[in-house]
Each structure stands twice: as structure tokens, then as C-alpha cells.
Chain A
Amino acid sequence: MKLELSRVVQGRGRLGVLKELGKTGQHSLEVPGCLLHTHLGAVPHLTRDTLHTLSNLPSVTQVTLSNIAEHQEVLEEFKDGFRRFAGLHNTVLYCSLHDPATPCPTGYNTTKTVSVWGSGGRIELTVAKFMALQKTVQPDWYQSMADGETWQSGTSRKRVRKSVDRTLAHLDECLLVHQNSQELEGVEVFGVVEGGDILEERVRSGRETAKRPVAGFCLDGLQTGSMDQALRTQLITAVTKELPEDKPRLLQGVGRPDEVLACVEAGVDLFESFFPFQATERGCALCFGFDVSSDPELAGRAPPAVVELAEEKTASGETRQNGDSNPADQSRMTSFEIDLKDKRHRDDFRPLVEGCGCYCCVNHQRAYLHHLLVTNELLAGVLLMIHNTAHYHAFFRALREALANDKLDVLKRRVLGEGGGQTERNE
């Protein structure tokens, strides 16, 4: 893979294209961008027909060992790699360790092993097993095995240091096997930067990982809920100083629009697109605005993707805002979405988002989605996933455009909400 940057502004992010992806080198992915998050190759709830109502999807599909590991025997017998097994065509396959949408129990990693959680329970991976899996999955690119159990608050310095040391050791072992495996010829490896919330450890991890012959870097242990954005920005900024400019940086476990914007400014290129799925599971529709029209007349008006007042009150009356204090509590609604189970949508015959061209918004109304959610119907997940995916990827397009046209500040105001009255209040 080759990262071609067209713009780099310190503290404002990078814009470019990741080219020559895939074994045939014919794919590319614009950055900042996100991968297509899947469960075993399927975008959650969607079959190929429903998936293909979406256009401009990322060219890189993400699968995770937490879904795949338990099927190792099957894949070994199949022999032709995961892509064929799942009926995926014409996509670049990226294999990560964990599913960013589902944090798993911690405390099981050892010096030589890392655990993932499949449908049947915990699966322990040594580097040998990890690499055997990669050989049978045959991705185009994968992250090296890593110990990232530092996201819980109160992780000791000692534990953080261990995660850095172990991850480097795993990386070295992985690379050794990789270099000696014919099956992995042409496959790229990303090193994983750890370090918890400790600046020195982050810098050390970044510096050391950069010494290895990797194609890019995953930034781990920074997921939503593990720390506030100010610290995350600080750590990412420090880490990226240690990393080569011409290799991509993939931030794991961060998907909220506000965090994405801040992390792009700190130097991140790639994200995992699990946030739409989480919103879907909450019965919520993404609705935050990101239109940054270059037409001065329109710039003052509320954007077509209207920012709804999404300050839903919790039972205790507190306003739910941006804070998720616990990554395990991914079910908490954010201010970027509307809760379609809310009674106010019962007889609302508007689409989820006016002007959104997705299949759901073109064909269905809020009232119908509300009904589907209230009656626990499977179609709710399908339709919401379509809309949320479309909305999220359109946000990334808008982000790239904003960077290209120096409109990042305008975009930030749109997405994060200005102080006063541009939001559409309780309709």
C-alpha cells in the first residue's frame, strides 16, 4: 500500500489516498476514511441486496478474529481464504483482532497469549495460532497481535508497560512468521501502538513500533470511554510525532463524530465504522448535520441533514451529552442521533433525515421505523443499519471535502453544534 498525501497541516489533519491496496493493488481508500465494519463479512443485518442499496462504500472490509477464530478448522478445510468463504467480491480484506463494537472481558491476556471472545466463549491465541489464522483467512492486511487491555481506568503503570512490551514482542514474532510464510506474500501488517494513558509509554511504543518493517500503525487502547478527548488528542499527537509521515494511522475503537474530528486533527487517517451499528442497536438513527455548503447563501441556513435536538433526558433528568464514561456501556445514546422508540416519532411521517438519499429515507418514514422498533421487528435493524451506514460514510466524505476546501472549522461547528439556535428543537 502507498499513502499519497495531498495536504498535511500540523494540528489540522492529513488528506490523501491510500493506494495500491489488495493483492492486485487495484483498490484505494481516501483518507481520512473508515473501513467497512462487518460481522464475519456481513455488514450487520444486511444481505448483499440490502447492502447494495448503498453506494460509495469503503473499499476495505474489516473482519475480526473474535468472529473468525472459532471457525479456523472450517477455513482450513475450505482452503480458499475467508473472502471466498464469505462470498465477498472485489473488496480489500482487513483483519483486526477484536470487534470494536463489543468490548470484551479483560484480565485474560498473558505474556505469550491474547484472548478473543467468540460465540462459544474465550479463545486463547498464541502468536503461532494467530499467524495460522492469518494464513487461513488470507486477508490483504492485518494488525499484528497485541495486548491492549489498558483502557479501563486505573490500569497500573506496570500493566501499561507490560502491554507495550508484549505487543512489541508479539509484533516481532508475527513479522518473523510473516516473512517466512509464502501464503502471506503480498499481505501487509500493521504494528499496534499501545501505552494506555501514559505519555512516555505511548511515545516509547510509537518509537519502537516505527522501527519495525510495518505498512502502517494501529493505535490501540484509546477507545471511546477509556479517556476524555483532550488526553486522547495529546497522546495521539505525541505518538504520531514518532511515526513516519508516509504510513497510515488507524485508530481503533473510536467512532463518534466529535471524537473522529478531533482525532483527524491529531493525525489519524483511518477509523473503524462500528458507530452506525451501535446506534442501530440502540434503535437510533444518526441525524447530525455535516453539510458545509460552499454557497454563502446556504451556509447560513440550517443544513438539509438537520441537526435535531438530541439532548434526550435520562430518567433522572440529566441531559445525555457526549460522555460515555464506560466503554462497556456502549448503549448510551449520543447527541448525534434520535431515539426512534420515542413516542414523538409515532406519527411523524417524515423520513429519518430530510434529503438523505438512502433506501430507508427514500422509502420509509419515522412512524414506520417507530412501529418496527416498538413491535421488535427485525426490519428495524435492517433499515436503520442502511441509513446509519449511509449517513456515517457521507460524514466522512464531507470531512474530506472540508479538509480539501479549508472548511474544517465550519464542519466542526455543524457537527458539534453551535452555541445557539441552529438546531431544530422538539419538532
Chain B
Amino acid sequence: MAAITERGADVNTLENSMSLKKTLSAASPLALRVVAECSVTKARACDLILPHCAVSTPVFMPVGTQGTLKGITVDQLEGLGCQICLGNTYHLGMRPGPDLIEKANGLHGFMNWKRNLLTDSGGFQMVSLVELSEVTEEGVKFKSPYDGEEILLSPEKSISIQNSLGSDIMMQLDDVVSSTVTGPRVEEAMHRSIRWLDRCIAANKNPDKQNLFAIIQGGLNAELRKVCLEEMTQRDVPGFAIGGLSGGEEKDDFWRMVTLSTDHLPREKPRYLMGVGYAVDLVVCVALGCDMFDCVFPTRTARFGSALVPWGSLQVKQKQYAKDFQPIDPECQCPTCRQHSRAYLHALFKSDTAAMHHITIHNIAYQLTLMCSVRQSIVDGCFPEFIRTFMKRMFPSRDQYPGWAVDALASVNVPLE
């Protein structure tokens, strides 16, 4: 199979990560080595050593919700250089259920993915998918969409499912509140998330194999965020996620919470910004100090024929591409761009699902390549230049740069001309 060479694993790093791996099993199932730090922004390039393999950060993690990455085989995913992807506790907990997956040797065994897996807790789906029955101190009570049965997702239950899934990184169950909500509910949710973190830590049966990440909450309220950061960083967890953002909030508020969070998170632990995946957001949030990202957007939008490119996106199904015989991106090295034209893909969308798969492969390649280039520029000490070049490519003119991005980048010493 045509494989893109492994990203971000230069010889030096590989050697060091090999020796780290040896110490890994003895101590904790996660080790973070900061390989380079940008002297201008808060960006870092790290090697994140996890049980299944090393992960080069900054990293974008594709989302394989139900134990599969929408039409892509694990071989193809590996061939694209993916080192870690996501599975969803809520979906998999419903179907096929933790018992079956455990029988199948965990989610790795079930889907035959040999690299790393991160599972979320199911908390977000509570807000986004399900008719909430009730959130209490106990957990989240909801009705199963498949048989109407009432189910309680407690911190213990979430961790139990994730233990059965056997993911390398598990997320705590947090009390998720939409970022557009204000008032006392936000504070209540923040405090509860701390208490649920403690319950999750206590419930983890496999602390030597599975890493439990905390999720910083507090909505768009700086004071609440700070309290949460203060409290959660006192817990001995291997990593932190910045949650409760990437909902429908204003980007101006969004980036401020991100940078506030990274200011108060320890340097030697990975920072995972949940639900962020748009190229501009990724580049900016790397500059603000985040290491890990996930988002359904690239793979979801692919199925609608939307191909991600350095200058935005290309809607392959649109008439204008019917006779366009170039590849999606002439400079892209992914299998799709090396073999097929926009015109062919445009036509194929009318005949076969393979068209979606071609775009999905391209979009994953785009995201992973972007992160790889970001990392390389941090290592080479030219991340600020990278940012400028990136923005110039993405937007036709300076006055089209999103205001929030300009502000955010200025806050880390990268003024945009």
C-alpha cells in the first residue's frame, strides 16, 4: 500500500523515545518530552510516549466514533501517519457494549488498530445528542435512543466502560455545559467536574496502562476557569484537556479561555484542546500552547465532498470542478491527489461511495501534514514565519484575517502584517 512516510519521527527523537519507552512501562503509561519550544509564542513540539507508540505533537487526532474511521481501513490510517485516533465511549458503550469489546481484546483488538486510542467519557454526547433526563451528583441520567431504557452514566460507569475499551488515554466524565450558558449552572458544573475527576481517578482499574486526563471547565468565566485549573492541577493526572469550549461561543471569548488555561497548566504535561479542528484554529491554538486536538469536521465534511486545502476548502461536487483536471491540491502527496483529478472525483460522487473515501483520505492527510509542518517549524525555530505564510495562503487579503486570530496571535507576540 502506498504509504506516506511517518511524520515527525526523526532519528534523534526515535532513539530517545525508544529509551523512554523502556522506562515507560516501569513508571507511568505516559511520558512527555518537550523537544522544542517556540521562543516567540507559547508553542511546543513534544514527543508524547504512550503505550502503543510515540506520538509527535502538536497532533491532530482523527475521530473514529464507532470504532472505525468512516470508510478508511486501519492500514490506510496507519499509512497516512496517524499515531492516535479517537473512539467514543457513549456510542461504543451503547453498541456493541463494553462486554463484547472486552472479549475482543479491547477497542484496539476489536477494530485492529495497533497504535494509540483516546476515548472521551461520553459527557459531550450528553449535551449534543441525547435528550437529557437529569444531571445529578450521581451522574447523567438519560434515555437510550435504541431501546428507550433509562441509563445512568456516572463517573464510575464511564471509567468502567473506558477500562473495557482499553484506550491509551481516557477522559474523565465532566459535567458538560454548553459554552453559551451563563449563570450559576456554569459554576456548579465546574465544581462538580472536579469532584467527578476524583471519582474517575479512584475508579480507574488500569492506572498503569491507561492514562486518565482531567478536563478543565468553567465556561467563559476567567475566575471559574482559574479555580478549576488551580484545583485540577493539584491532582496527579498525566494530562489535561481544555473543555467546555468549541461549542457556539464567540471566538473572541474562546481564545482567551484557551490561553488562560495554558498559562496555568504544567509545562511537562500534554494540553489537549477538545473539539478543535479547523486549520486556522489549530495553528492559533498551537501558538497559545496546546499540544493535542480532535474534531469530526475534517472527516465529516469530506463525506459531503468538501476537500480541505491550504487556501480553504474546495467543494468537489460543485459544477465548476466537473472539468477541472487538476488534483485537489497539486502539492499534496496523499494517495487521492497523486491518482485522481477534481473532475474524476466530481463524477465519481454520482456513482460510488469510493468518492467519499478519496476525500476523507485527503482531508486526514491535510490535517496530519499541517500538524507535521507546524511541528517542524517549531523545531526549526521559525514558527512565527510559518504562521504568517499560513495565514497569507489561507486568506486572500489581510482584511480577511479573522479578528480573533489576529488578536490571539498578537497576544503571543506574532503581529500579522
Report yes or no: A347 in contact with B66, Cβ–Cβ below 8 A: no
A382 and B335: CB pair below 8 A? Answer: no
User: For A364, what are the chain B residues with a Cβ–Cβ distance below 8 Å?
Assistant: 112
Q: Whole-angstrom distance between the alpha carbons of A40 and B343 in the complex?
A: 12
Surface stretch bound by A, among B95-103, B132-140, B167-175, B260-268: B95-103
Cα–Cα, bound, A370→B341 (Å): 34
Q: In this complex, which of A368, A371, A375 has the most chain B Cβ atoms within 10 angstroms of its Cβ? A: A371
Partner of A347, one of B68, B103, B111, B352: B103
Encoded as 1 (CB less than 8 Å from any A CB) or 0, chain B from 67 to 98 comes to 11111111110010000000000010001100
- A329-381 CB contacts (< 8 Å) to partner B: 346-347, 349, 359, 363-365, 367-368, 370-372, 374-375, 377-379, 381
CB <8 Å contact, B100 and A368: no
What's the interface size class on B, roughly? 35 or more
Instruction: Tell me which residues across on chain A come within 8 A of B95, comparing CB atoms.
Output: 371, 374-375
Cβ of B300 to closest chain A Cβ, rounded Å: 12
Asked whether, in the complex, the Cβ of B344 is within 8 Å of the Cβ of A86, the reply is yes
Tell whether, in the assembled complex, residue B100 and residue A379 are in contact, meaning their CB atoms are under 8 Å apart: no
**CB proximity to B under 8 Å, residues A51-99:** 52-53, 67, 70-71, 73-74, 77-78, 85-87
The B-contacting residues of A in range 1-59, CB under 8 angstroms, are: 39-50, 52-53
Query: Would B76 and A87 count as touching, CB distance under 8 A?
Result: no
Contact B323 A77 (CB under 8 A): yes
Roughly how many angstroms separate A120 CA and B351 CA in the complex, as a whole number? 11
* B356 interface residue (CB < 8 Å to A): yes
The reply to whether A379 and B323 form a contact with Cβ atoms under 8 Å apart is: no
| A314 contacts partner chain B, Cβ-Cβ < 8 Å | no
Check B104 against A49 for contact (C-beta < 8 Å): no
Pair B104/A377 contact, Cβ less than 8 Å: no
A188-225 interface with B by 8 A CB criterion: none
Contact B74 A47 (CB under 8 A): no
Number of chain A residues whose Cβ lies closer than 8 Å to a Cβ of chain B: 47
Shortest beta-carbon distance, B327 to chain A, in Å? 10
**A276 → chain B closest CB, angstroms:** 14
Task: Collect the chain B residues with CB atoms within 8 Å of residue A266's CB.
Answer: none
A379 pairs with B71, CB closer than 8 A = yes
A46: B residues at CB distance < 8 A: 354, 357
Select one of A48, A347, A377 contacting B70, CB under 8 A.
Answer: A377
Whether B27 sits at the interface, judged by CB under 8 Å, is no
Nearest CB of A to B273, in Å: 27
Interface positions of B from 22 to 62, Cβ below 8 Å from A? none
From residue A350, how far is it (CB to closest CB) to chain B in Å?
12
| Shortest distance between the CB of B151 and any CB in chain A (Å) | 18
Tell me the complex Cα distance, A382–B323, Å.
Answer: 28
Q: Is A118 an interface residue (CB 8 A)?
A: yes
Q: Which residues of A contact B350 (CB under 8 A)?
A: 40, 70, 118-120
Return chain A residues, CB-CB under 8 Å to B79.
49
- A53 contacts B323, CB within 8 Å? no
Q: Give the interface of A toward B (CB within 8 A).
A: 39-50, 52-53, 67, 70-71, 73-74, 77-78, 85-87, 118-120, 346-347, 349, 359, 363-365, 367-368, 370-372, 374-375, 377-379, 381-383
* Interface contacts beyond A45-B71, A368-B112, A379-B70: sample of 13 additional A-B pairs, CB < 8 Å, sorted by A: A39-B348, A39-B354, A40-B352, A42-B352, A43-B354, A44-B353, A44-B354, A47-B335, A74-B322, A118-B350, A374-B96, A375-B91, A381-B353
